[in-house]
Amino acid sequence: MPTALRASTHTRKPKSLDPRRQAAPQVFDSLREKILALELAPGAVLARTELADMFGVSQTPVRDALIKLSEEGLVDIFPQHATVVSRIDLAQALQAHFLRRAIELEVAGTLATHPSELLVAQLRAQVDIQSALAAAGDYDKFIAADREFHRLMYVAAGVPDLFDLVRRRSGHVDRLRRLHLPTAGKAKAVVRDHRKIVEAIASGNAEEARERVREHLSGTLGQIEQIRHEHPEYVV
């Protein structure tokens, strides 16, 4: 396992918190994004005092944010000792993947049963954004655009709360995908998969839409052993 990193010296300083919103959710969101982007890698030590200084808040919202991250399995809290970014748990990743696949197969089938021209246009535009980001090698923005592509589908299917549920359960599998994304051709493959999903929805072929989603979501999980071999210090 790599030497633990101090959060305050190895991450970009976050944007100033919005004083109109509670601090703890903002600290949580910022740390979560850094963990999923591997800016805070597995094994990184999160010192409460340093985080409080970094965000310009007291230790209370930092503590609350760390507890919530622990509930998602993204950090391990050792009372009176340290809080450490967790290693990627493959068992948890597989369960999250199972949940997401089950939901998104139904989402895609539902959308294809009654295809919306507006949704199809929105999804095509989102894929075009992803294509440009893949060409630029901007993986952080690519992942954000990927998330928006899927969110649009959940919203259009009338189940936006399920998107939030899946997102909360997907921290481990999302980190696997972040490790896999720089692999040659992976980002372009995601773009191709998304285009196939959109066209299946646009054609009104529900079974084809489900099959394209099933194919799309099999990518990273099919490469688990390769990812584990390349990043043994990150993966349990």
Q: Is residue 2 over pLDDT 90? A: no
Write the pLDDT tens digit of every residue in 15-48.
678 888 899 999 999 999 999 999 999 999 999 9
CATH classification (class only), 7-85: mainly alpha
Q: Is residue 10 over pLDDT 70? A: no
Write down the pTM of the prediction.
Answer: 0.88
Rounded CA gap, 195 and 201, in Å?
10
Sign of CA dihedral 225, 97, 136, 44: negative
Q: Is residue 4 over pLDDT 70? A: no
pLDDT at 1: 33
Over residues 140-153, mean pLDDT = 97
Domain residue ranges of the chain, discontinuous segments joined by +: 7-85, 90-230
Fold for the domain defined by 90-230: Four Helix Bundle (Hemerythrin (Met), subunit A) (1.20.120)
Nearest to 169 by CA among 88, 95, 68: 95
Q: Is residue 79 over pLDDT 90? A: no
Write the pLDDT tens digit of every residue in 161-190.
999 999 999 999 999 999 999 999 999 999
Write the pLDDT tens digit of every residue in 182-213.
999 999 999 999 999 999 999 999 999 999 99
